[in-house]
């Protein structure tokens, strides 16, 4: 048996295993370095202190590792810059929507403040609708009125009258339109769109939020019209 061949094969296998282990280690380390490049320095220092004196790290490998360190550091700086930019954009959005204070915004499924003046509700026309009912709910979700409506209408008005015929209390109300076919089967249920007056703008983690009359919070991204 060729002892040298066996030894060479063993050495080759060991080298491949070491290379595979090193590759896996570097891959895992790269993921960790995204958050803290100081870890990279510690690993590099440990590698230099524990390298084989007979087979020290070559200049090429050392330069490559330094280049990796530079790339990781640059990536972290880029991430920090993007985070700062994102925060500035959020503040910028708040500044833009601040101009909406004192105006009314249209929001689907939002609450309208009823104070004695009839409330306009916008809906989408439903194909095949023969009849429709405007369902009015108070802030607790309780139905206070069911008002007959034109199945093809796109703008409805609630004058503040309950189903009982009495006047509704002043406060917040939401609206829903139930459209039915000729046989009475409900074919569509949609949330009405109502205008709400904006009193305040707040900056949250999810972006700028609007505080409408009655203290209702409205996401700026949910606004479809302003007047």
**pLDDT one-digit tens code per residue, 97-134:** 778 888 999 999 989 999 999 999 999 888 888 889 99
**Are the beta carbons of 223 and 134 closer than 8 angstroms?**
no
% of the chain residues with pLDDT over 90: 31
**Are the beta carbons of 176 and 152 closer than 8 angstroms?**
no
**What are the Cα distances from residue 97, in Å, to 65, 102, 130, 222?**
48, 11, 40, 12
Q: Quick one: pLDDT at residue 46?
A: 76
**Are the beta carbons of 129 and 151 closer than 8 angstroms?**
yes
pTM of the full structure: 0.56
Longest dimension (CA), the chain: 107
Q: What does the block give as tokens for 227?
A: 């007047």
Angle between helices 3-33 and 38-49 (to 10 degrees): 160
CB burial class (10 A; 0-12, 13-18, 19+) of residue 207?
Answer: middle
Does position 196 have pLDDT exceeding 70, yes or no? yes
Does position 64 have pLDDT exceeding 50, yes or no? yes
CB burial class (10 A; 0-12, 13-18, 19+) of residue 191?
Answer: middle
User: Which has the minimum average pLDDT: 16-20, 32-36, 58-62, 144-148?
Assistant: 16-20
**What are the Cα distances from residue 86, in Å, to 36, 82, 92, 180, 223?**
21, 6, 10, 47, 21
pLDDT band at 87 (very low <50, low <70, confident <90, very high): low
pLDDT tens digits for range 9-18: 444 444 444 4
Measure the CA–CA gap between 155 and 147, rounded to whole angstroms: 13
Question: Which of 12, 186, 196 lies closest to 108, judged by CA?
Answer: 196
% of the chain residues with pLDDT over 70: 63
Phi, psi of 152 (to 5 degrees): -100, 5
């Amino acid at each position: 048996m060729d002892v040298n061949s066996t030894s060479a094969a063993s050495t080759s296998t060991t080298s491949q295993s070491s290379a595979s282990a090193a590759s896996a280690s570097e891959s895992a380390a790269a993921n960790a370095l995204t958050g803290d490049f100081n870890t990279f320095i510690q690993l590099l220092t440990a590698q230099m202190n524990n390298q084989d004196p007979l087979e020290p790290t070559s200049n090429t490998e050392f330069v490559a590792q330094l280049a990796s360190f530079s790339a990781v550091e640059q990536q972290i700086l880029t991430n920090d810059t993007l985070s700062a930019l994102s925060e500035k954009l959020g503040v910028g959005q708040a500044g833009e929507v601040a101009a909406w204070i004192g105006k009314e915004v249209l929001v689907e499924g939002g609450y309208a403040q009823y104070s004695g003046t009839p409330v306009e509700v916008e809906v989408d026309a439903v194909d095949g609708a023969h009849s429709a009912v405007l369902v009015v709910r108070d802030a607790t979700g309780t139905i206070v009125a069911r008002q007959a409506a034109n199945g093809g209408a796109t703008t409805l008005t609630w004058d503040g009258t309950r189903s009982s015929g009495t006047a509704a209390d002043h406060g917040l109300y939401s609206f829903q339109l139930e459209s039915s076919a000729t046989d009475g089967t409900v074919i569509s249920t949609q949330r009405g769109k109502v205008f709400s007056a904006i009193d305040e703008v707040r900056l949250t983690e999810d972006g700028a939020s609007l505080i409408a009359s009655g203290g209702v919070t409205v996401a700026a991204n949910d606004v479809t019209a302003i007047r």
